[in-house]
Chains A and B, each alone.
Chain A
Amino acid sequence: MPWSRIKPDTNEPDFLSDAMPGGPDGRRITYAEAVNEALSQALALDPRVFVMGQGVDDPSGMFGATRGLHLRHGRERVFDTPLAETALSGVAVGAALGGMRPVYFHNRPDFLLLAMDQLVNHAAKWHYMFGGAACVPLVFWACIGRGWGSAAQHSQALQGLFNHVPGLKLVMPATCFDAKGLMLAAIADDNPVLIIDHRMNFRQRGIVPETPYTVPLGRGVVRRRGRDVTVVAVSHLLAEAFAAAQELAAEEGVEAEIIDPRTLRPLDEELILASVARTGRLVVADTGWKTGGVAAEIAAMVAEKGFDSLRAPVVRVCNPDLPTPSGYTLERAYYVGKDEIKAGILKAARG
């Protein structure tokens, strides 16, 4: 769609350097290229890895994430599928049980709901239900495609739904470095892992080392230090929160500490609690819905385990509890971003 070039190529903000160990061989590449490189290296290094999904060998290659993989690694290991998400999710589970490491791509999270039965009722349960006798090492991937009028069934941020399920790991990267490192970690993990990417990150450029490396699942990172308010920002809202914090520091002298959780389940609780212990205030910004979602869970966790640190009510910055409207004036009113996060930080700081 012509207007869907929603974000031009941009460089990532200069997040804290210890949070982005680019190393000497780091180059600036796009987020899509980082995912592509991770997949290509995983395919090259481990014969058990294969990539499947409707359109993985299309000319567009899942926004570039899978482009050319079938040419480099063969159609046997990188293949298009029928539009049969329910059965093929089960096929992926079976293939994982059978000794392979499938990576199943869906270009929108909405289609994962067809896979929900196999993902929630089967993949997430198998290891536990059989006393640890079997495991399901697979990666499901989907990308939120917001901002181009695609309406209520093509741009849902469903992480809250999946975050609810024990036995499933949930990853939402926000930087190019993590996009590669978390993908490689997810593929190496012996459990079902769901990676939800955000289309708004796909054309951003960041430092990514060429050699294969992993970013550990379950470990968050501080992206900006600040004494006044802790902001936990998920996925592409990390960049928005970072910008909000820089502006507020200049405009109001309020210093926000920005945390990128990277993995939502398991969640790096210690990192968040330690930060809230320093600042006494918490803002959670999530690209999904507020009620019963990821922000609700993080807020509840801090209320439960860090209540004594809190000096003000927790503030959640989320999209309204509504399906996504199609029209662009409605979309603009719907999505939260930098301004809403700024308001949230000020509210927490003054609360």
Chain B
Amino acid sequence: MLRIRRVQERIESEYMGDEMKTPVHLYIGQEAIASGVCAVLRDEDAVNGNHRGHGHYLAKGGDLKAMIAELFCRSTGCSKGFGGSMHLVDTAHGNMGTSAIVGGGIPIGTGQALAFQMRRLDRVSVVFFGDGAADEGTFYESVNFAMLKRLPVVYVMENNGWAVCSSTASRQCAENVFHRGADPELLFTARIDGNDPELVRAAAEKAVARARAGLGPSFIECATYRILGHAGCLQQDPKGYRDPAEVEAWRERCPVRTYRDRLLEGGLLDPSALDRMEAEIAAEIDAAFAFARTSPLPTADDLHTNLFRG
């Protein structure tokens, strides 16, 4: 969580320098979700993130250097400079790629679960998506199919209150239909505070165990908040679409700070260990940015590579 936060902060603070020429969607405020869910996954399990995918990628073990290099559009980036910030990939750790089409990844993650089931592999597929994506038909069609086939898939909806400048309430009527509609036998559903990593982890544990046992899909809605703007850095966020008091109230509930305080107060973490962690993370981030900056850019000769395999 801390690592994801610090990485996002560094990106935000350097973004206006114009070296990362890719549209970034920062994950600040939502770290507890990716961290809590991925804590119960294995390397070979798959996750499917979305345009706001830095946290998913890192929590699932994605390589930081390759991610930052991708943001710098370098050929050492995880997608070799062809994908940019919205298209991170790290197949060794189950990051099989992400879509920039909202809702596009939901059936793809469902399909990975189908493959795991057909290949009789003990693997789970997790799909992360926003409340905006839950507006899309792909969501309903996928969940129906997953229930039908009892697929080992966990749908994690990150309800951060907004889709670009549209509030969830302006796009959806009260709670999501699956909380009420689906037979609990067919779909385990939960609605939790997505800023509490322990709650997220507990719900994910249940869902993943259910998937591994062949009992089928789950749907976990995590209430959270996008602290920064939709895309770019704070400075570029259009003003006036949300109440500053709302942002402030959620800042108070910062998952990283509240969890840190909880660990320190409970004596589970001592301040010097925390300092060490901070220092390690800072050094790792420095190294990743240095790596990205000194990496070569792709050239025109690379343009025609990888259209087809073989």
Contact = CB atoms under 8 A, between A and B. Distances in A.
Interface string B160-189: 000111100011100000000000000000
A330 B81 contact: yes
Interface string B1-30: 000000000000001101001110000000
B271 interface: no
Given A150-B100, A329-B73, A59 B299 contact: no
Contacts of A80: 166, 170-171
Contact of A326 (B15, B79, B300): B79
Nearest to A332: B300
A82 B73 contact: no
B172 A326 contact: no
Interface in B87-110: 87, 99-104
Report, as a range, how many residues of chain A touch the other chain.
35 or more
A114 interface: yes
Contacts of A148: 21, 23
B202 to A, nearest CB: 30
Contacts of A60: 165, 238
Chain A CB within 10 Å, residue with most, of B16, B21, B101, B304: B21
A253 interface: no
B133 interface: yes
A346 interface: no
B133 A151 contact: no
**Overall SS of chain A's interface:** loop
B111 interface: no
Contact of A83 (B22, B83, B103, B236): B103
A327 B137 contact: no
B132 interface: yes
B165 A58 contact: yes
Chain A CB within 10 Å, residue with most, of B22, B231, B241: B22
A81 B135 CA distance: 10
A309 interface: no
B298 A84 contact: no
Contact of A84 (B21, B83, B99, B135): B135
Given A54-B164, A59-B238, A330-B82, A149 B23 contact: yes
A333 B16 contact: no
A1 B82 contact: no
Report, as a range, how many residues of chain B touch the other chain.
35 or more
Given A55-B165, A59-B241, A150-B84, A322 B297 contact: no
B248 interface: no
B21 A3 contact: yes
A330 B303 contact: yes
A93 B13 CA distance: 45
A306 interface: no
Contacts of B241: 58-59
B267 interface: no
Nearest to B70: A326
B303 A320 contact: yes
B34 to A, nearest CB: 21
Given A1-B23, A1-B232, A326-B73, A151 B303 contact: no
Contact of B137 (A87, A150, A328): A87
B163 A83 contact: yes
Contacts of B82: 151-152, 325-327, 330
Interface string B132-160: 11011100000000000000000000000
Contacts of A333: 299-300, 303
Given A327-B81, A330-B82, A330-B298, A59 B100 contact: no
A326 B83 contact: yes
A213 interface: no
Contact of A59 (B99, B165, B297, B304): B165
A85 B22 CA distance: 25
A86 B137 contact: yes
Contact of B18 (A2, A154, A321): A2
B240 interface: yes
A55 B15 CA distance: 24
Given A114-B136, A333-B299, 19 more contacts: A1-B236, A54-B163, A58-B241, A59-B165, A82-B171, A83-B133, A83-B163, A111-B101, A114-B101, A149-B73, A151-B86, A153-B86, A320-B304, A325-B82, A326-B79, A326-B83, A327-B84, A327-B297, A329-B299
